[in-house]
A and B are shown apart, each in its own frame.
Chain A
Amino acid sequence: MSQTCIEATNLGKSFDDELVLDDVNLSVRSGELLAVMGPNGVGKSVLFSCLAGSEHPTHGSVTVFGEPATDRSDTTSFLLQDALCLERLTGRENIQFYSQLHPMFTSEWREYVEVFGLTDDLEKRVEHYSGGMKRKLELTITLSIDAPIYLFDEPTAALDLTVIQEVHRLLREKQAEGKTVVVSSHSPMDADIADRIAFVADGRVVVTGEPDELFDAVPPVLETTVTNADSLTRVAVGGQLFPSDGGVRAFVSPDESVSTAEMEAVTRLEQLTYTDLFNYYTADLPATPR
């Protein structure tokens, strides 16, 4: 069994009396790729700042390799959304700044700028970059730091599909080198590469597990057309429907699933998606027998 490299215990974080994280418990195993999933604004970025040692917990603790995260600054390489790039410098000057700043910065940045197609834009000032180019530059900087743990806050936001696949390949590559990779996202695509997934809702980690375990715990899902939504609402857990491609979906208890199987224009889905998983664990649904 893998040892734990990051341990958040009863972690709470408030800003100006506003509670952002509340009793978060999370263990990150050495060498794993963990996806932390949750809707926007549930506290994922703050959680990552606490894991990186950038923020002191208001209560509880975060340890990295057994020591308080805030006491160690050599263990993580942290991509914080839109915070790394210096707008008035060129891409190359940004890389040079971080290469001087971080003693563990490596020459791998050359490979990453090539992979991300940034080579021709390195002499441009970052203020003239698009959102996607800035994210690629941030990824280049973060990936070029040699650290045992990589924390990526929304690494694929603003990126197109091809680049997302390239990012996933690079994250897997880091994992293959024995590094621990933790990725936050609200995109189900990013869950696809994870060994384990932790779902965050309302400032808490509501569940953590391997994808198969998490899928097994999801109750049956029914789908119907938008025009037939009312009939599904009556049997939906918590009366809550979720949009899907051209229709709506709902979670139902196993019993309801049987009794509604013959409902007109309602289909029971055999193959659930990460979106279903995301909806189930992050929506405020009442407890369901599974």
Chain B
Amino acid sequence: MAADTTTSNPVMGNATPAWAWLTQVRAFSERCLREVRNSWTMLSIVIGLPAGMQLLYGQRLEGISGEMIASTAVGTGIFGAMYICLYIFGYQLAGDLEDRRYEAYRSMPIFPSADLSGRMLSGIVLAGSAFILTILAGVYTGASFELRGLMSIPIVFLAFVVTCVFWMVVAMPFILYAQNERVAEYAVPMIAIVGYIATGFNGANTELSPIDGEILNYLPNTLPTRLAIYHLVPGGAESSVLPPVSAVGPEYVALLVGYGVLALAVGTVLLTTVLYRQGWRP
């Protein structure tokens, strides 16, 4: 007997492509969040690592101004976001590769862009939680935050989202090359640590950085940090926390958007061509 292959929509059944895409985004996102909830290691990194670091610094920063503590908290919060994005995004992607799960995914009608969006959405949620906890830890240790203006909210949000997206994509080439959970767990997050230390808490405390000058306003880890400090710690920008002159102009926001667009483009191409082997279709 010949099988009837006719359905109302040959690829998506009764679901519209848009609905199927959204459902798949949700699938990847919820799956990633559940995996973190079920793993003490991952959960303790999200909850404890950057916030714990801030508490530790805070105790050692007696006699330091509230602006300086706040700047450090932002730098540490951005570090936490980078670490979490590199570690959790990379670890889960490596697990799928190591278990040959992409062979199964390729036999299913999955939108690669839904896969990437779902993973990134969960990464942003986790990194966002860690960032908020770090800011709260900063407040607990004496940090004083203040919004520079209403526009500060979208700019800080943009800076944070771009940070997450950028560093998740940075993890991808390493994971695709190594295809190994151990590399994802131990080696890839080192990028965040090296970046954090080499740039003086991501550009928050420039006197601790071996890198001097204007370049700290352009690096993908220091630019969003310094933008966020400018908007969340108005006193910090004026009180020599942020030499050189802070990244405040629209050109820096444009550069930030550029980093985000570049990361999304590279991430989409890598996932679509290397993992889903679909050429250039998203």
Contacts and interface: CB of A to CB of B under 8 A. Distances in A.
A54 B100 CA distance: 10
B104 A80 contact: yes
B104 A73 contact: no
A83 B100 contact: yes
Interface in B1-42: 1-5, 7, 10-15, 20, 23-24, 26-28, 30-31, 34-35, 38-39
A103 B35 contact: no
Contacts of A88: 34-35, 38-39
Q: Is the interface of A mostly helix, strand, loop or mixed?
A: loop
B3 A5 contact: yes
The CB with the most chain B CB atoms within 10 A, among A30, A101, A125, is that of A101
Nearest to A78: B107
Contacts of A104: 7, 13, 109
A2 B1 CA distance: 6
Given A73-B106, A83-B103, A97-B27, A56 B1 contact: no
A179 interface: yes
Contacts, number: 114
Contact of A31 (B3, B27, B28, B109): B3
Contacts of A76: 107
A30 B103 contact: no
A36 B108 CA distance: 22
Nearest to A55: B103
Interface string A71-97: 001111010101110111110010011
A103 B13 contact: yes
A255 B9 CA distance: 60
A87 to B, nearest CB: 8
Interface string A86-119: 1111100100111011111000000000000000
Interface residues of B, number: 36
A148 B3 contact: yes
Question: What class of interface size applies to chain A in its complex with B?
Answer: 35 or more
A89 B28 CA distance: 13
A54 B105 CA distance: 8
A70 interface: yes
B5 A65 contact: yes
B30 A78 contact: no
B5 A75 contact: yes
Nearest to A141: B104
Given A93-B31, A103-B15, A54 B3 contact: no
Interface in A35-57: 49, 52-56
Contacts of B277: 56, 70
A65 to B, nearest CB: 6
Nearest to A105: B13
B139 interface: no
A53 B95 CA distance: 21
A180 interface: yes
A100 B24 contact: yes
Contacts of B20: 103
Contacts of B35: 86, 88-89
A178 interface: yes
Nearest to B23: A100
A29 B28 CA distance: 35
A84 B101 contact: yes
A151 B104 CA distance: 11
A149 interface: yes
B4 to A, nearest CB: 7
B26 A100 contact: yes
A54 B31 contact: no
B109 A74 contact: yes
Contacts of B108: 73, 78, 101-102
Contact of B104 (A74, A84, A100): A84
A53 B106 contact: yes
The CB with the most chain A CB atoms within 10 A, among B4, B39, B103, is that of B103
B133 to A, nearest CB: 23
B109 A89 contact: no
Given A101-B24, A148-B4, A86 B31 contact: yes
Contacts of B34: 88-89, 93
Contacts of B136: none
B94 to A, nearest CB: 13
A98 B99 CA distance: 16
A271 interface: no
Given A74-B11, A178-B3, A178-B4, A97 B107 contact: no
10 tightest Cβ-Cβ pairs between the two chains A and B: A100-B27, A52-B107, A31-B1, A78-B107, A148-B3, A54-B106, A30-B2, A54-B103, A73-B109, A103-B13
Interface of B: 1-5, 7, 10-15, 20, 23-24, 26-28, 30-31, 34-35, 38-39, 95, 99-101, 103-104, 106-110, 277
Given A74-B12, A97-B27, A100-B24, 15 more contacts: A49-B103, A55-B106, A65-B5, A73-B107, A73-B110, A80-B104, A80-B107, A93-B34, A101-B27, A102-B109, A103-B12, A125-B38, A151-B107, A178-B2, A180-B3
16 contacts: A5-B3, A30-B1, A49-B107, A54-B104, A54-B107, A73-B11, A82-B99, A83-B99, A83-B103, A86-B35, A86-B101, A93-B31, A97-B31, A101-B108, A102-B109, A104-B7
